[in-house]
Amino acid sequence: MLFPLLAAGLLAIVRNGKLQGFIVRVSALLIASGSILLAVQTFGGRLSIRVESEWLSYGMLALDIAMSVLIVVFAIRRRKPMAAILTLIQTPLLIWFELSNGHGIVIAADMAIDRLAILMALIIGVVGSLICVYTIPYMKEYHHHHPEFKDRTPFFLAMLFVFLSAMFGIVFSNNLVWMYFFWEVTTLCSFLLIGYTQKKEAVDNAFRALVMNLAGGVGFAAAVVYVGMNLHTMELSALIEMGLKGTIVIVPAVLLAFAGLVKAAQMPFSSWLLGAMVAPTPSSALLHSSTMVKAGVFLIIRLAPILSGNIAGLMVAMVGGITFLLASLAAISQTDAKKLLAWSTVANLGLIVACGGIGTYEAVWAGILLIIFHAVSKSLLFLSVGTVEHNIGSRDIEDMHGMVTKLPEMAVMLTIGIAAMFLAPFGMLISKWAALRAFIDSDNVLIVMALVFGSAATLFYWTKWLGKIVAVLGRSARLENHIKKDEWVSLGFHAAIAVGLCFLFPVISNRVIEPYLEGFYGTQIQSVLSAGNTNLVLMMLGMVLLMPIAMYVYVHLQDEKILTAYMSGVNQGDNRGFTDSFGKPKDMYLANWYMDKYLNEKTLSMIGIAASATTLAVVLMMALGGAL
Amino acid sequence: MKTWMIVSAYILFAPLLGGLLAGIDRKITARMQGRFGPPVLQPFYDVLKLFEKESVAVNHVQNFYILFFLIGVIFTGCLFFSGGDLLMVIFALTLANIFLILGAYSANSPYSSIGALRELMLMMAYEPMVFLVAIGFYMVTGSFGISNLVQSNKMLLPYLPGIFAGFLYILTIKMRKSPFDLSMSHHAHQEIVKGITTEFSGSTLALIEIAHWYENLFLMGFIFLFFTWTSPWGPVVGVLACLVVYFLEILIDNSFARAKWQYVLSSSWAVAATLGFANVVILQLLQK
Model pLDDT, residue A398: 84
Name which residue leads in pLDDT, A4 or A306. Answer: A306
pLDDT at A526 over 70: no
Using CA atoms in the order A7, A11, A17, A23, what is the torsion angle rounded to 10 degrees?
Answer: -10
3-state secondary structure A569-586: CCEECEEEEEECCCCCEE
Rounded CA separation A522/A158 (Å): 43
Name which residue leads in pLDDT, B73 or A66. Answer: B73
Closest among B109, B71, B117, B122 to B201, alpha carbons compared: B109
Average pLDDT of the residues in A343-364: 89
Name which of A433, A453, A468 is nearest B87 (Cβ-Cβ): A433
pLDDT at A78 over 60: yes
Model pLDDT, residue A207: 87
pLDDT at B2 over 80: no
Name which of A453, A460, A565 is nearest B120 (Cβ-Cβ): A460
- pLDDT category at B49 given cuts 50, 70, 90 is very high
- pLDDT category at A354 given cuts 50, 70, 90 is very high
B168 CA to centre of own chain: 11
**pTM of this prediction?**
0.91
| Domain boundaries of chain B, sorted by first residue | 2-287
Query: Which chain A residues touch B56 with a CB distance below 8 Å?
Result: 560-563
Average pLDDT of the residues in B190-218: 84
Quick check: A270 and A220 in contact, CB under 8 A?
no
Rounded CA separation A191/A73 (Å): 14
| Chain A residue with the nearest C-alpha to that of B203 | A560
pLDDT at B35 over 60: yes
Task: Output the DSSP codes for A77-106.
Answer: HHT-HHHHHHHHHHHHHHHHHHHHTGGG--
Alpha-carbon gap: B116 to the closest alpha carbon of chain A (Å): 9
Interface contacts (A, B; CB < 8 Å)? 171
Average pLDDT of the residues in A552-581: 72
Rounded CA separation B52/A400 (Å): 37
Closest among A78, A67, A45 to A208, alpha carbons compared: A78
Model pLDDT, residue A47: 65
Rounded CA separation A197/A279 (Å): 7
- Compute the mean pLDDT over every residue in chain B, rounded to the nearest whole number: 88
Average pLDDT of the residues in A132-140: 83
Exposure letters B265-288 (e unless 16+ CB within 10 A, then b): bebbbebbbebbbebbeebeeeee
pLDDT at A587 over 80: no
CA atoms within 13 A on the CB side of A242: 17
Name which residue leads in pLDDT, A42 or B223. Answer: B223
- pLDDT category at A522 given cuts 50, 70, 90 is low
Alpha-carbon gap: B199 to the closest alpha carbon of chain A (Å): 7
Model pLDDT, residue A89: 80
State phi, psi for B193 to the nearest 5 degrees. Answer: 50, -110
Model pLDDT, residue B17: 92
Model pLDDT, residue A54: 66
Quick check: A440 and A414 in contact, CB under 8 A?
no
How many CB atoms sit inside 10 A of residue A31's CB?
25
Rounded CA separation B262/A536 (Å): 37
Quick check: B102 and A419 in contact, CB under 8 A?
no
Burial of A157 (0-12, 13-18, 19+ CB in 10 A): buried
Model pLDDT, residue B167: 94
- Complex prediction ipTM: 0.91
- Compute the mean pLDDT over every residue in chain A, rounded to the nearest whole number: 80
Quick check: A364 and A309 in contact, CB under 8 A?
no
Rounded CA separation A565/A578 (Å): 11
According to DSSP, the β-strands at A574-579 and A585-587 are antiparallel
A170 contacts: CB under 8 Å, gap ≥ 6: A179, A182, A183, A186, A295, A298, A299
Model pLDDT, residue A554: 74
Rounded CA separation A153/A140 (Å): 8
Rounded CA separation A421/A460 (Å): 12
- pLDDT category at A2 given cuts 50, 70, 90 is low
| Side chain identity, residue A289 | S
If contacts are CB pairs under 8 Å, which of residues 245-284 in chain B contact chain A? 262, 269, 272-273, 277, 280-281, 284
Quick check: A170 and A154 in contact, CB under 8 A?
no
Average pLDDT of the residues in A462-491: 78
Closest among B177, B172, B176, B142 to B156, alpha carbons compared: B142
Average pLDDT of the residues in B161-168: 93
- pLDDT category at A307 given cuts 50, 70, 90 is confident
- pLDDT category at B169 given cuts 50, 70, 90 is very high
Quick check: B119 and B97 in contact, CB under 8 A?
yes
Give the CA distances from residue B164 to residues B4, B157, B275, B277, in Å, rounded to whole numbers and listed in that order: 30, 7, 9, 12
First-to-final CA distance of chain B: 40
Quick check: A406 and A478 in contact, CB under 8 A?
yes
pLDDT digits (tens, 9 = 90+) for A164-218: 888 888 888 888 888 888 888 888 888 888 888 888 888 888 888 888 888 888 8
- pLDDT category at A227 given cuts 50, 70, 90 is confident
Name which residue leads in pLDDT, A561 or B210. Answer: B210
CA-based radius of gyration for chain B: 19
- pLDDT category at A71 given cuts 50, 70, 90 is confident
Closest among A384, A290, A277, A417 to A334, alpha carbons compared: A277
Quick check: A357 and A615 in contact, CB under 8 A?
no
pLDDT at A627 over 60: no
Burial of A315 (0-12, 13-18, 19+ CB in 10 A): buried
Q: Is B109 on the interface with A (CB under 8 A)?
A: yes
Name which of A456, A471, A543 is nearest B108 (Cβ-Cβ): A471
Model pLDDT, residue B241: 93
Give the CA distances from residue A53 to residues A57, A59, A283, B137, in Å, rounded to whole numbers and listed in that order: 7, 10, 34, 59
- Are B106 and A564 inside 8 Å of each other by CB? no
**What letter does residue B44 receive in the DSSP assignment?**
H
Name which of A423, A472, A563 is nearest B108 (Cβ-Cβ): A472
Query: Which chain A residues touch B92 with a CB distance below 8 Å?
Result: 424, 540
Model pLDDT, residue A29: 76
Q: Which helix (H) or strand (E) holds A151?
A: none
Alpha-carbon gap: B36 to the closest alpha carbon of chain A (Å): 32
> CA triplet B139, B273, A317: central angle to 5 degrees?
70
Rounded CA separation A34/A4 (Å): 11
A441 contacts: CB under 8 Å, gap ≥ 6: A360, A362
Contacts of range B250-255, beta carbons closer than 8 Å, 24 or more positions apart: B250/B25, B250/B28, B250/B29, B250/B32, B250/B177, B251/B32, B252/B172, B252/B177, B252/B178, B252/B179, B253/B29, B253/B172, B253/B177, B253/B178, B254/B29, B254/B32, B254/B33, B254/B178
Name which residue leads in pLDDT, A518 or B111. Answer: B111
Name which of A402, A445, A467 is nearest B101 (Cβ-Cβ): A467
pLDDT at B286 over 70: yes
pLDDT at A129 over 60: yes
Query: Which chain A residues touch B128 with a CB distance below 8 Å?
Result: 449, 452-453, 455-456
CA atoms within 13 A on the CB side of B61: 22
Average pLDDT of the residues in A116-125: 85
pLDDT at A17 over 60: no
Quick check: A190 and A287 in contact, CB under 8 A?
yes
- Are A452 and B272 inside 8 Å of each other by CB? yes
Rounded CA separation A541/B136 (Å): 28
Model pLDDT, residue B22: 92
pLDDT above 70 covers a percentage of chain B that reads 97
Rounded CA separation B275/B254 (Å): 25
- pLDDT category at A623 given cuts 50, 70, 90 is confident
pLDDT at A44 over 60: no
Q: Which helix (H) or strand (E) holds A561?
A: strand A561-562
Model pLDDT, residue B243: 93
**What letter does residue B230 receive in the DSSP assignment?**
S
- pLDDT category at B256 given cuts 50, 70, 90 is confident
Query: Which chain A residues touch B280 with a CB distance below 8 Å?
Result: 445, 448-449
Model pLDDT, residue A608: 83
- pLDDT category at A324 given cuts 50, 70, 90 is very high
According to DSSP, the β-strands at A561-562 and B56-57 are parallel
Of A110-124, A158-172, A524-538, A609-623, which gets the smallest average pLDDT?
Answer: A524-538
Average pLDDT of the residues in B6-25: 90
Name which residue leads in pLDDT, A526 or A622. Answer: A622
| Side chain identity, residue A273 | L
pLDDT at A5 over 70: no
At what angle are helices A17-41 and A115-122 packed, to 10 degrees? 160
Model pLDDT, residue B161: 92
Rounded CA separation A410/A388 (Å): 7
- Are B55 and A560 inside 8 Å of each other by CB? yes
Q: Is B62 on the interface with A (CB under 8 A)?
A: yes
Closest among A133, A40, A38, A127 to A501, alpha carbons compared: A127
Query: Which chain A residues touch B127 with a CB distance below 8 Å?
Result: 452, 455-456, 459
- Are A472 and B62 inside 8 Å of each other by CB? yes
Quick check: A335 and A396 in contact, CB under 8 A?
yes
Quick check: A354 and A435 in contact, CB under 8 A?
yes
Average pLDDT of the residues in A531-542: 72
CA-based radius of gyration for chain A: 25
pLDDT above 90 covers a percentage of chain B that reads 44
Query: Which chain B residues touch A467 with a CB distance below 8 Å?
Result: 101-102, 105, 113, 116-117, 120
pLDDT at B223 over 90: yes
Model pLDDT, residue A12: 57
**What letter does residue B105 receive in the DSSP assignment?**
H
CA atoms within 13 A on the CB side of A32: 18
